[in-house]
Every structure is written in C-alpha cells, then in structure tokens.
Amino acid sequence: MSDTRTKVDTRTPEGNPPARWSVGGIFLETLAIRDYERMATTLGPTVRFRALLPPGPTHCEGPERVTDTFKSWFGGADDFELVDATVGEIGGRLHLSWRIRLRPAPFGIGENWHVIEQHGYADATDSIETLDLLCSGFRPDRAPDHTAA
C-alpha cells in the first residue's frame, strides 16, 4: 500500500518558518484581560507598530510604547469585554483580529457602550516583531444594553 499523504511545506516563499500562532493567542489573551505587562512579553525588544486609525496613521517602536498605546485605548474602561477574536496566517504573516465592547469610551467620546474592531498583521516567531493594525474606531453600540461579563 502506498502512502498518499502529501507533505506540506510550511515555509514562506522566502524560506522563513511560518508565523507562530501561539504568540498571537497569548497576545489576544492578554488583551482580553487587559494585562499590559504580560502583553509586553509577547512583543520583541525592537517591535515596530504601525496603525491606521480614523484620525490618521500612527506608529511607535518598543514593547513599552506599544502596550502604552493599547492601554490608552482600553485601560480606562469600567466595563470591557472581548466579543470576538481570531488568529490565523496569511502569506507567512500572523493575522490577529478582535472586536471589543466597552464603556466609557476613551478620549471623552462617550459614556455609553462602544464597539471597536481591529485587524492586525504581524511578523512573529517567538515574539511579535512587527504589528500593522487597521482600526474601525470606537463606534456607538446599537445592541441592547447589557452588563459586561
């Protein structure tokens, strides 16, 4: 009997190993519980972060500055829930996405519930070395009001 299984080459076209999904999962776990200190451990020492936000593009480098950015967006909310999150891969890059529901929204934009969805593409092995993010912005939530879990 012959073996009909096909070996799949998981290297990227450039010959690099595939992105590590586990570091993406840990990043999302830290986001879900707003543990910014642990989030920093998922980021490489020279991590580069670029984001396209509704006000315009922004960027920073280093784990502390990246986690400070996330903390400025989500750290001040009294009610916070990670509604959905995914980890995947495209062309050797890690794809992370998440939807968050919170109140109050940061930057004085509202006391009621808001939702935000973000998609990130990362170069990652044992840590995230680059993270490029696209953000929906904080949008008023039209769903019936309920308390975050």
Give tens-digit pLDDT for 40-66.
999 999 999 999 999 999 999 999 999
pLDDT on residue 95: 96
Query: Which DSSP string do the residues of 34-59 spell out, in sequence order?
Result: T-HHHHHHTEEEEEEEEEEETTEEEE
Whether the pLDDT of residue 145 is over 80: the answer is no
pLDDT of residue 106: 94
State the pTM of this model: 0.83
Residues 110-142 pLDDT 10s: 999 999 999 999 999 899 999 999 999 999 998
